[in-house]
A and B are shown apart, each in its own frame.
Chain A
Amino acid sequence: MNVTSGIESGFDIKDIRQHFPILQRQVKGKPLIYFDNAATSQKPQIVLDALSNYYGHYNANIHRGIHTLAEEATAAFEETRDAIRDFIHAGHREEIIFTKGTTESINLVAYTWGRANIQDGDEILISNMEHHSNIVPWQILCKEKNALLKIIPVNDEGELDMEAYKKLISHKTKLVSVVHVSNALGTINPVKDIIRLAHQAGAVVLIDGAQSAVHLDIDVAEMDCDFFAFSMHKLFGPTGVGILYGKKDILENMPPFMGGGEMIKEVHFDKTTYASLPYKFEAGTPNIADVNACKAALVFIDKIGKENLRQHENELLAYATRELKKIDGLHIIGNAKHKVSVISFIVDKIHPQDLGILLDNSGIAVRTGHHCTQPLMQRFGIPGTVRASFSVYNTTEEIDTFVLALKKAIKMLA
């Protein structure tokens, strides 16, 4: 399927905003200001059109049909796989596995690679800033295998303590699984160093790219990670599509995850042989409509240009940081040198939830709470934060409105 974005190349904020129908709506009688982009991004019209086009024109189950619709649907599905390979610079298309999200991608590795490779006394290294989905699968695995989960500490600025990491890593470390960009703090972690050191110790590395894929250039070949997991709904795509990238030789040696149709070569009651990559890990009818619409999301990103996107987001981050720091009693949690456009903060004596409710009352969507990173909140000794996260369609005018609404909320709650 050919997808044209309809947008001009380059950066024109007015033009970009027009591609997101949801930005026209009102919330509580006020124009929506959507600052919850780290949770999920909004969807441009071309992605909505791609979904509707699939169901309206070529809806069919893929891979085994010989009729025209099945061929078209299969072609679009596999073209999306190619587009994702290009997007993250993977070497082979078979290294791209479709899942339903980052969480499933990580669990796939834990349940297959993990069960086949982790043994009694082995160590798995994660960090103090991981999302629960990069903690719990490893806890389950460690419990089952009598392995040890070790934690890379985080400093007061919200950065990984790399000296501590160097001390924690040893020949016992079999896996290092760390987040590329913190969802709660916005910190960009030095994954290349992490991967290099892990490989020197003989460990395999999984990078949780749920937050990084939309902001940073992802080159898995250059990064040299063994696994990279992310979700397309944070990159202007539909919900329900996750990606697991894995190095081909590692994926080939991994047992399957789920059994069923699509993932087999031949089934006999005494023996079943499995399909080749990537289908070995894609049991059952996949999420065809949403996967196919992801290609439109990638076209959209490509049209804007990641460099333009990042520059705009960095401007918003710098502007919002400067304005928020002027507010008495407000403390930004996470002041790493390298950050994406995520600001977490707390205000003295005020519960984040109260701020979230009053901001929503002003039509402003932020996230409040622990952001599925309870150990990180414990590290900072706070119940949660208010998190504002910006995307390509946000503006400095929206930040001004947000800061005014925040000041008003603080006054009401004080």
Chain B
Amino acid sequence: MNEVKSIAESEKEIIEDFSLFDSWDEKYEYIIELGKKLPLLNPVYRTDDHIVKGCQSTVWLGSSFRDGKVFYEADSDAIIVKGLISLLIRILSGHRPDEIIQAQLECIKVIGMASHLAQTRANGLLAMVKQMKNDALAYQLQNQLNQAE
């Protein structure tokens, strides 16, 4: 957390990581591994207020704002979603709200996981990205208000 990479750098790294895999099985094995390693969610966030509801899996998302930067943590009852969340946190956490809001997350497409962000009811991941950006937007507005005062 001391040395936060830029969003572009993180995305590039993820693309490089995934380029090492020859098969889809390997990609999923890696994502599952990331899911298992995701740090435990602070219990204060494990409430209904923090649920980002997909049709099938549930995601809990918490965020905080420190020194002008947004930090995320999250959990899910489904492990592949959790692995993908881990990637999103790696990319977005620790950045300024405007950077987060503007992030295109192209790397998700490049590594072949775009279907998980697609507009299907089955998946909470798209809702998760929206919520992460909404949180960033809320912190940005709050920050502007504070500065105006």
Question: Using a CB–CB distance below 8 Å, which chain A residues touch chain B?
Answer: 28, 350-354, 356-358, 361, 368-370, 383-384, 412-413
* Minimum CB–CB distance for B124 against chain A, Å: 9
Interface centre among A351, A354, A358 (most CB of B within 10 A): A354
* Contact residues in B for A358 (Cβ distance below 8 Å): 28, 80
**Please, which residue of chain B has its CB at the minimum distance from the CB of A352?**
B56
A354 and B122 in contact, given A28-B24, A412-B29 (Cβ under 8 angstroms): no
Q: Which 8 A-B pairs have the closest CB atoms?
A: A351-B78, A369-B56, A353-B56, A353-B78, A353-B57, A354-B80, A361-B24, A354-B78
**Please, which residue of chain A has its CB at the minimum distance from the CB of B27?**
A361
User: How many Å lie between the Cα of A351 and that of B55 in the bound state?
Assistant: 13
User: How many Å lie between the Cα of A357 and that of B57 in the bound state?
Assistant: 12
**B77 in contact (CB, < 8 A):** yes
* Contact residues in B for A413 (Cβ distance below 8 Å): 32, 79
Is A369 in contact with B122, judged by CB distance below 8 angstroms?
yes
A353-B122, A413-B79 given; name 10 further pairs at CB < 8 Å. Answer: A351-B57, A356-B122, A361-B24, A361-B28, A369-B55, A369-B122, A383-B58, A412-B25, A412-B28, A413-B32
The count of A-to-B residue pairs whose CB atoms sit within 8 angstroms is 46
Is B56 in contact with A357, judged by CB distance below 8 angstroms?
no
* Contact residues in A for B74 (Cβ distance below 8 Å): none
User: How many Å lie between the Cα of A369 and that of B78 in the bound state?
Assistant: 12
Is A383 in contact with B28, judged by CB distance below 8 angstroms?
no
* Contact residues in A for B52 (Cβ distance below 8 Å): none
* Contact residues in B for A384 (Cβ distance below 8 Å): 56
Question: Using a CB–CB distance below 8 Å, which chain B residues touch chain A?
Answer: 24-25, 28-29, 32, 55-58, 77-81, 122-123
* Minimum CB–CB distance for A270 against chain B, Å: 47
* Contact residues in B for A350 (Cβ distance below 8 Å): 79
**Please, which residue of chain A has its CB at the minimum distance from the CB of B55?**
A369
Is A351 in contact with B79, judged by CB distance below 8 angstroms?
yes
Can you show 18 pairs from A to B with CB atoms below 8 A apart?
A351-B79, A353-B57, A353-B78, A353-B80, A353-B81, A354-B78, A354-B79, A354-B80, A356-B56, A357-B80, A358-B28, A361-B24, A368-B56, A369-B56, A370-B56, A383-B58, A412-B25, A412-B32
Is B77 in contact with A351, judged by CB distance below 8 angstroms?
yes
* Contact residues in A for B55 (Cβ distance below 8 Å): 369-370
* Contact residues in A for B79 (Cβ distance below 8 Å): 350-351, 354, 413
User: How many Å lie between the Cα of A413 and that of B32 in the bound state?
Assistant: 7
* Minimum CB–CB distance for A28 against chain B, Å: 6
**Please, which residue of chain A has its CB at the minimum distance from the CB of B81?**
A353
User: How many Å lie between the Cα of A383 and that of B58 in the bound state?
Assistant: 10
User: How many Å lie between the Cα of A317 and that of B124 in the bound state?
Assistant: 32
Interface centre among B55, B56, B122 (most CB of A within 10 A): B56
Interface centre among B24, B25, B32, B80 (most CB of A within 10 A): B80
* Contact residues in B for A353 (Cβ distance below 8 Å): 56-57, 78, 80-81, 122-123
* Contact residues in B for A351 (Cβ distance below 8 Å): 56-57, 77-79
* Contact residues in B for A383 (Cβ distance below 8 Å): 56-58, 77
* Minimum CB–CB distance for A363 against chain B, Å: 11
User: How many Å lie between the Cα of A127 and that of B49 in the bound state?
Assistant: 32
User: How many Å lie between the Cα of A383 and that of B59 in the bound state?
Assistant: 13
* Contact residues in B for A368 (Cβ distance below 8 Å): 56, 122
Interface centre among A353, A361, A383, A384 (most CB of B within 10 A): A353
User: How many Å lie between the Cα of A354 and that of B32 in the bound state?
Assistant: 9
* Minimum CB–CB distance for B22 against chain A, Å: 12
User: How many Å lie between the Cα of A354 and that of B25 in the bound state?
Assistant: 13
* Minimum CB–CB distance for A223 against chain B, Å: 34
**Please, which residue of chain B has its CB at the minimum distance from the CB of A409?**
B28
* Contact residues in A for B81 (Cβ distance below 8 Å): 353
* Contact residues in B for A361 (Cβ distance below 8 Å): 24-25, 28
Is A357 in contact with B28, judged by CB distance below 8 angstroms?
yes
User: How many Å lie between the Cα of A311 and that of B34 in the bound state?
Assistant: 45
User: How many Å lie between the Cα of A370 and that of B28 in the bound state?
Assistant: 24
User: How many Å lie between the Cα of A370 and that of B55 in the bound state?
Assistant: 8
User: How many Å lie between the Cα of A71 and that of B123 in the bound state?
Assistant: 47
Interface centre among A28, A357, A383, A412 (most CB of B within 10 A): A357
* Minimum CB–CB distance for B5 against chain A, Å: 28
**Please, which residue of chain A has its CB at the minimum distance from the CB of B31?**
A357
Interface centre among A356, A370, A384, A412 (most CB of B within 10 A): A412
* Minimum CB–CB distance for A328 against chain B, Å: 18
* Minimum CB–CB distance for B134 against chain A, Å: 23
User: How many Å lie between the Cα of A127 and that of B25 in the bound state?
Assistant: 41
* Minimum CB–CB distance for A413 against chain B, Å: 6
* Contact residues in B for A369 (Cβ distance below 8 Å): 55-56, 122
* Contact residues in A for B80 (Cβ distance below 8 Å): 353-354, 357-358
* Contact residues in B for A412 (Cβ distance below 8 Å): 25, 28-29, 32
* Contact residues in A for B123 (Cβ distance below 8 Å): 353
* Minimum CB–CB distance for B52 against chain A, Å: 14
* Minimum CB–CB distance for B42 against chain A, Å: 22
* Minimum CB–CB distance for A40 against chain B, Å: 15
**Please, which residue of chain A has its CB at the minimum distance from the CB of B36?**
A413
User: How many Å lie between the Cα of A370 and that of B56 in the bound state?
Assistant: 7
* Minimum CB–CB distance for B66 against chain A, Å: 32
* Minimum CB–CB distance for A65 against chain B, Å: 40
